[in-house]
Chain A
Amino acid sequence: MSKAASISLEMQSVSRHFGGLKVLQDVNLAIPQGGIFGLIGPNGAGKTTVFNLITGLLPPTSGTIRFNGQDLAGRKPHQITRLGLGRTFQNIRLFKEMSLLQNVMVGMHAHLGYGAFGLLASSGLFRSEERRARERARELLSWVKLDHKAHETADNLSYGEQRKLELARALATEPKLLLLDEPVAGMNSSEKTELMHEIQNISARGYTIFMIEHDMRFVMGLCQEIAVLNFGRIIAQGGPEAIRTNPQVIEAYLGREDDEPVSAAAQGEQA
């Protein structure tokens, strides 16, 4: 089946409840291989929960998540990362006291080819692998234009630079699918434009990108396909133009003029 082969990540009727709170209900998503896919939605719609389920930080209450055909159920975060899923965080989570280079090299952990023996006994293998890691880390830093700060401590970076370092670190895990959680949150417009170009460059290098974003203009400018999450349900999916004109999406973002009992009930449920 050629269609199945081109699907990178697939969520099938995935739900997640926290006690009585139904954060995600019956979410179906299929992220195609290649390109940039966006997930948008108002605050508290459950977007980050989607990422936490995919990366194994939370188990879904029901439903299945498949990545390149493999079921992710029961796998630990590090195992899922090793399958080729890299991610960044909405609230930046760098290793603050380590240098930029070290941060990125941590991401290469699973891709260094020396075991305990190589570590303790074989100098040659150890050195060549560490050198390869350092060179690759420098290369990734140069992709996000941070290579001139390679030896600085991550803590010293500006907010925008920290986001870019997270991106480089996620790339170091050699992901087939890159999950970006609000990559431009808190950035000014020039930083946003710059990051947009960098994400486009990364996409052009063949990485599939799945991003959560709040900034509509940013999403519309980058993504080929967008899904909209509202109150834990996918309410629309399609190209930027279709999403922009979708009445349900407009309602979710701007509210509805006439207060129908249905939407009032939905509001009440959330409150």
Chain B
Amino acid sequence: MEWFDNFWAVYSNLVLTLGTNALLALSIYLTLSCGMLAMANAAFMGIGAYTSALVTMNLGLPYPVALAAGMAAPGLMAFIIGKPTLRLSGVYLAMATLAFGEVVRIVVLNAESLTGGALGLNGIPQSTEWWHVGLALLLTVAVLWRLRRSRVGRAFEAIKEDETAAGLMGIDVGAHKMLAFVLGAMIAGLAGTLNAHLTFFIGPNEYGFDRGVDILTMAILGGINSLFGPILGGIMLTVLPELLRGFKDFRLVVNGFILVLIVLFLPKGIWDPARFRQWFSRSSRKGAAA
């Protein structure tokens, strides 16, 4: 097992980042699956990270309490800003949520006494074990899986396809959008909490626009027509830069190029069950003809 110990010593951070990134991709998948382009997930991650870090560092409370706070705070925040913003649709919702993210970043930057300002928070206890991340991912997937196959999941999909028709099917459109938004925020907060207690340090710029775009890219790249898609996207976007280390200075160029190609040729994401079904039925038809 020596090789494993070596591997773990070098890559443990990367492996655990896979988990938190998968969680982030799932968090935005929830709002996307309900037809909303909400870009506040990086901010929710930040709120979760800061809240939980302050709970463990300043209040000295145990890690489970920090986890709960790291999910509750962004959830509550989502509920508050969701009230006015979720009436917006399309790019307008994206703009409003992006603006919110920027507000969060600036508040964190200026509330120096609490958040350390631009210097960030140092010395967060590294309480996150590998199995915490694994369990968090597993539970999130289990909940989302159940949700997807329930009337709530069907309602999300119906809202995504035609909001008016969904309402006339007896679906409370506003409440379901709010549910997706708040749940997404809580998952992002969970990822933020796990991540903060993994990295020892957090700063305000980790949760800005770049991160928001990264999160969206993971979900879109993987495909949002299944739960596996966002996870796959999260894994790819984490691993790809590492695999491309051989390109040295051109690493990010190649990275971007690959992403462009995927979006160009697989617009519905890498993992697209509908396309797989099509392939399958085509090959089985060929088989039947032969």
Verify that A and B bind, or say they do not: yes
Q: Which residues of A contact B (CB under 8 A)?
A: 55, 57, 76-78, 81-82, 86-87, 89, 93-98, 102, 105-112, 114, 119-120, 126, 130, 133, 169, 172-173
Chain A neighbourhood of B251, CB < 8 A = none
The closest CB in chain B to the CB of A129 belongs to: B151
Cα–Cα distance between A93 and B150 once the two chains are bound (Å): 22
Q: Pick from B147, B158, B161, B170: contact of A173, CB below 8 A.
A: B170
The closest CB in chain B to the CB of A84 belongs to: B170
Query: Does B164 interact with chain A (Cβ within 8 Å)?
Result: yes
B 125-174 contacts with A by CB, 8 A: 143, 146-147, 149-152, 154-155, 157-158, 161-162, 164-173
Chain A neighbourhood of B157, CB < 8 A = 95, 97-98, 102, 106
Chain B neighbourhood of A114, CB < 8 A = 150-151
Cα–Cα distance between A96 and B166 once the two chains are bound (Å): 12
CB pair B162 A81 closer than 8 Å: no
- A29 → chain B closest CB, angstroms: 20
Chain B neighbourhood of A89, CB < 8 A = 165
CB pair A78 B170 closer than 8 Å: yes
Given known A78-B171, A95-B158, A119-B146, contact A109–B151 (CB-CB < 8 A): yes
27 contacts between A and B (CB under 8 A): A57-B168, A76-B167, A78-B170, A78-B171, A78-B173, A81-B167, A81-B169, A82-B170, A89-B165, A93-B165, A94-B162, A95-B157, A97-B157, A98-B158, A102-B154, A102-B157, A105-B154, A106-B155, A106-B166, A106-B169, A107-B169, A114-B150, A114-B151, A119-B147, A119-B152, A120-B146, A130-B150
The closest CB in chain A to the CB of B172 belongs to: A78
CB pair B161 A97 closer than 8 Å: yes
CB pair B162 A95 closer than 8 Å: yes
Chain A neighbourhood of B171, CB < 8 A = 78, 106, 109-110
Cα–Cα distance between A110 and B152 once the two chains are bound (Å): 10
Chain A neighbourhood of B158, CB < 8 A = 95, 98, 106
Chain B neighbourhood of A173, CB < 8 A = 169-170
Chain A neighbourhood of B154, CB < 8 A = 98, 102, 105-106, 109
Chain B contact residues, majority secondary structure:
helix
Q: Which residues of B contact A (CB under 8 A)?
A: 143, 146-147, 149-152, 154-155, 157-158, 161-162, 164-173, 274
Cα–Cα distance between A114 and B166 once the two chains are bound (Å): 19
Chain A neighbourhood of B169, CB < 8 A = 78, 81, 106-107, 109, 169, 172-173
Given known A98-B158, A106-B171, A119-B146, contact A57–B164 (CB-CB < 8 A): yes
Cα–Cα distance between A58 and B137 once the two chains are bound (Å): 43
Cα–Cα distance between A93 and B170 once the two chains are bound (Å): 15
CB pair B162 A93 closer than 8 Å: yes
Cα–Cα distance between A259 and B169 once the two chains are bound (Å): 47
CB pair B170 A81 closer than 8 Å: yes
Q: Pick from B151, B161, B167: contact of A96, CB below 8 A.
A: B161
Chain B neighbourhood of A169, CB < 8 A = 169
Q: Pick from A97, A105, A110: contact of B170, CB below 8 A.
A: A110
Chain A neighbourhood of B167, CB < 8 A = 76-78, 81
Chain B neighbourhood of A76, CB < 8 A = 167, 172
Cα–Cα distance between A102 and B156 once the two chains are bound (Å): 12
The closest CB in chain A to the CB of B142 belongs to: A120
Q: Give me 14 other A-B pairs in contact (C-beta within 8 A), A94-B162, A105-B154, A111-B170 excluded.
A: A57-B168, A77-B164, A77-B167, A78-B173, A81-B167, A81-B169, A87-B168, A93-B162, A102-B154, A108-B151, A109-B154, A109-B170, A119-B152, A133-B151
